[in-house]
Structure 1
Amino acid sequence: MTTSAPLPPMPPGHWLWGHQLQRQSDPLGLYLKTRQQFGDVVRFRMGYVQVEQLTHPNHVKHVLADASARYTKGTVFDKTRPLVGNGLLTAEGDFWKRLRRLAQPAFHKERLASLATMMTDTISERLQTWAPAVDGGGPVPLFQEMMKLTLTVVVRSLFSSDVKEHTHTLGEAFTTALEVTNERIISPLPYQPWLYRLPTKKNRAFQRAVGTLDSIVNDIITRRRAAGTADAKDLLGMLMAVFDADTQDALDDAQLRDEVMTLLLAGHETTATSLAWTFHLLEQHPEVEATVHAEVDRELGGRVPTVEDLPKLRYLGCVFEEAMRLYPPIWAIPRVPQEDDVVDGFRIPKGDIVILVPYVTHRHPDFWPEPERFDPTRFLPENSKDRPRWAYLPFGGGQRQCIGNNFAMMEAQLILAMVAQRFTLRGVPGVPVEPEPHVTLRPRGPMPMVVTRRGGVSQELSRMA
């Protein structure tokens, strides 16, 4: 690879820290403004680390697809290994390809459809707990509610009836492990495994939580193997049942454990975050909310939705996609080139951190007219058919596109439909809603919302909740 190309333009920064202080105080503003000022390839210095930002869809495609063999995920993902092991999130090379090939059949839409009734039952149970708030008991902390709901859905999707007595314990342990993992990921300290073995309060809490998770998950796997129930109709059963027809390979118990942890990690916070932003945007745009309500009333007639109903709820699906455009749950995607590369005429040195920023790409004015405007009709087929595939990547892209994207879309649309049937949500006056660029693009704080019952066709469902 030639090294004669120039380095990308770099905005002015601090003589010692470079752009690190700006990155810490306002990363979204930093990346968005520098694209506007310097173009689609920008170079930063974060302390001693060199970073290139790539935001044009062609550049995204280059890194995630065309030249993907030239890039690895980098050490930031190593910080998740104490929780998820060597699963699909962290594995590289041929081992990752084998894992992906084995796991992929479990996530086909047809197989996931069998989980829909479990999802709607779980959603109904959680919505019933909103009754005190609906009856004047104060606002619902919506983001926290979505976190609890999506974690329960993922746990039950993985383990079905095997975790009735463990659901709360699993949820608490995983929440503890996730919060520590998130703090490790956003820490500027490089990955050093020995740091995680120090007897600090957070490290001890993390180790206890992972010990609890391992004990429950490994016990379930062992009991299923012994009882011959490895083909149960949940995600764990699907993963235990798949094998490579050519090699007869299957996932062993250690690999199953790592994939379970990976699905717990990747399968609930991202969806919860996107749902929270969707409800916030609907509250800000009552005309869009009214269209959603009319659609769910017309297509569902007051009954609980099924997976067969989702294609009919076309506008609702567009609303969720537009919410993920404005607030992509994974707002930045890091990669590390293993050799010098050239992108758009600029040199990308080996070993630098390349950051793809969906938050910025989703606002690229060449592909998104009035990019800050919330407009679900962008995603109607007639309006999106000419848009480049790589201008929109809420689930990543290329070979490493999120394997659970179909699961997430089904879960999110069922939750949106069932809430829209029953309730109207309104923000609390005087409480601002702002993004917090954590590992995911969370709302800052619990996002309290006032819940009121809807009338008409949804009145009886609302009373049930």
Structure 2
Amino acid sequence: MTSTLRTPASAPGRLPVLGHGLQMKRRPAEFLLELQSGEPVVTIALGKRPAYVVNDPTLMRELLRDGDTFVRGGPMTDRFRSMFGNGLGISEGEFHRRQRALIQPAFHRNKVIHYTKLMSRTVAGKLDSWRDGQRLAVETEMDELALSNVVEVVFAGDPRLDRARFMAATTTVLGGLFRRITDVTGVLTRLPTQANRDYDAAAEYLRATIRRVITEYRAAGTDHGDLLSMMLFARDEEGRPAMSDEQVHDEVMTFFIAGSNTIANTLCWALHHVGADPEVQRRLHAEVDRVLDGRAAGYADVASLEYTRQVLSETLRLRTQGLFNNRVTARDAELGGYLIPAGSDVLYSFHAVHHNPRIYPEPERFDPDRWLPERARGLPRGAFMPFATGVHGCIGDQFAWTEMIVSLASIAARWRLEPVPGHEPKPVPAMTMPVDALPMTARRRTR
């Protein structure tokens, strides 16, 4: 390090404590967005120690691509690991790279094509269950759809899974995990409250269910052609199982959360915005009528569903899944000319970047045309990374894009979902940002 490096600026008078989440006088989202107008890196007080907030999207990208310097760690990661163990979403270093290499084949193109066939069948079945004029709880419908898809991919559609209970437990865990991560002192989440008891019960149910299926698969010794089978039958160089049952459990837990809740949330918000904007709806319907003509989408259709992808990109921007993330410096770090000492907490917020008016004019307006190629090319590097990047970037990003495009296009090809007058959905504070409730009326489309 040289003496030319700068120490990040502090932010005196700007709400110095980023703890206790919603109990602050200003919401965390507002605080993080305010920091966007300051220096690229600033310091704040996080509990009893300083934290470094990275505000510049190019520096965020640099941070994420240097996984050996900026590692997962600190109290927030510890609380996350208490639920997800040492799965891909939280593991580090050589172990993480080994696990990623073992799991990567599950998301190769031919596998995604196979998964898409399953998803097309699942979404078609869901759409067949709707009735013209029916008022739908869209948040429940999308939860069920996304969970069905991830069950097909991970468990080959295990018929013994109590999907309603599993889905409810997942929702409880994500809400409770957000409270644990934003409780800097850790006191609130140790109290014998009903919310804490519900969280513990839901977490144990998820773990027990996944362990039960792993035990049954291991005992049967049958390759079901799903992700769980691939992990259980993976072998190291000496022919031994490459993963213990506990490691398989951690990976499965991670995939269930990442592969169901975030997808369902994004689809809900997309359907809300499509229903609220007649011009967006008209253009989406015109595209799916031309490409699909009333059938469910398949893998071969994805490249042609360009406006559908734009709608989803704008949804991921406006309704960012997660408020902020963190890293810890494994050694003294230099980022954009700023010195960050070893062992420091580093925070960054895609949500804040996505709502920065200097990057996205009129950031609160839903505008899929932001993602026309000629406009998207003008964005700064790192300004849109819905699945992160680097060694910790989402291993299933192409699978996620395919699932969302196939689901949204298939729905729009057969149904028009109308908002219920007077109802305005609101985001629920959680690890991801689900909608509180989204009642919509289903109208069968004629072309």
TM range (shorter): 0.7 to 0.9
Q: Deviations over 1:91-147 (max 9, x none)?
A: 12222121111111112232122122322232233334442xx435xx433233322
How far the C-alpha of 1:288 sits from its partner, in A, is 1.6
- Which residue, out of 377, 382, 394, partners 1:402? 394
What CA distance in whole angstroms lies between the structure 2 residues aligned with 1:121 and 1:262? 24
Provide the residue aligned with 1:92 in structure 2.
Answer: 92
How far the C-alpha of 1:82 sits from its partner, in A, is 3.4
Identity of paired residues, percent?
34
Provide the residue aligned with 1:229 in structure 2.
Answer: 222
SS in structure 2 at match of 1:222: helix
What CA distance in whole angstroms lies between the structure 1 residues aligned with 2:155 and 2:241? 22
Aligned residue identity for 2:276: Q
On the 8 A contact 1:106/1:238 being kept in 2, the answer is yes
Matched, 1:135 2:140: no
Q: Deviations over 1:257-316 (max 9, x none)?
A: 111111112211211221122122212322121111011111111122111111111111
- Which residue, out of 414, 417, 423, partners 1:425? 417
Alignment of 1:386-397 (within 5 A): 387-397=379-389
- Which residue, out of 282, 289, 292, partners 1:300? 292
On the 8 A contact 1:332/1:358 being kept in 2, the answer is yes
SS in structure 1 at match of 2:434: strand
Aligned residue identity for 1:333: N
Provide the residue aligned with 2:281 in structure 1.
Answer: 289
How far the C-alpha of 1:382 sits from its partner, in A, is 4.2
Alignment of 1:233-248 (within 5 A): 233-243=225-235
Matched, 1:72 2:68: no
Matched, 1:264 2:259: no
What CA distance in whole angstroms lies between the structure 1 residues aligned with 2:205 and 2:387? 30
What CA distance in whole angstroms lies between the structure 2 residues aligned with 1:114 and 1:121? 11
Provide the residue aligned with 2:150 in structure 1.
Answer: 154
SS in structure 2 at match of 1:374: coil
Q: Deviations over 1:67-101 (max 9, x none)?
A: 64243343312213333221112212222121111
Provide the residue aligned with 1:118 in structure 2.
Answer: 118
Return the TM-score normalized by structure 2: 0.88
Distance 1:30 1:453, change over 3 A: same
Provide the residue aligned with 1:58 in structure 2.
Answer: 58
Aligned residue identity for 1:354: V
Distance 1:32 1:216, change over 3 A: closer
Aligned residue identity for 1:423: W
On the 8 A contact 2:143/2:167 being kept in 1, the answer is no
Give 1 or 2: higher helix fraction. Answer: 1
What CA distance in whole angstroms lies between the structure 2 residues aligned with 1:451 and 1:272? 18
Provide the residue aligned with 1:463 in structure 2.
Answer: none
Q: Structure 1 regions of 5+ residues with no counterpart?
A: 457-465
How far the C-alpha of 1:169 sits from its partner, in A, is 4.4
Distance 1:80 1:245, change over 3 A: same
Provide the residue aligned with 1:27 in structure 2.
Answer: 28
Distance 1:354 1:308, change over 3 A: same
What CA distance in whole angstroms lies between the structure 1 residues aligned with 2:238 and 2:384? 35
On the 8 A contact 1:9/1:43 being kept in 2, the answer is yes
Provide the residue aligned with 2:11 in structure 1.
Answer: 10
Distance 1:52 1:434, change over 3 A: farther
Query: What is the count of residue pairs matched by the alignment?
Result: 444
- Which residue, out of 429, 432, 438, partners 1:447? 438
Aligned residue identity for 1:30: F
What CA distance in whole angstroms lies between the structure 2 residues aligned with 1:152 and 1:368? 35
Distance 1:91 1:292, change over 3 A: same
How far the C-alpha of 1:452 sits from its partner, in A, is 2.3
Provide the residue aligned with 2:177 in structure 1.
Answer: 181
Q: Deviations over 1:233-268 (max 9, x none)?
A: 222123334456799762232211111111112211
On the 8 A contact 2:40/2:56 being kept in 1, the answer is yes
How far the C-alpha of 1:201 sits from its partner, in A, is 4.5
Provide the residue aligned with 1:461 in structure 2.
Answer: none
Aligned residue identity for 2:440: M
What CA distance in whole angstroms lies between the structure 1 residues aligned with 2:358 and 2:19? 29
What CA distance in whole angstroms lies between the structure 2 residues aligned with 1:249 and 1:383? 49
What CA distance in whole angstroms lies between the structure 2 residues aligned with 1:190 and 1:349? 25
Q: Structure 2 regions of 5+ residues with no counterpart?
A: none
Task: Report the more deviating stretch, 391-400 or 272-281.
Answer: 272-281
How far the C-alpha of 1:191 sits from its partner, in A, is 9.4
Distance 1:176 1:72, change over 3 A: closer
Give the CA RMSD over aligned residues. 3.0
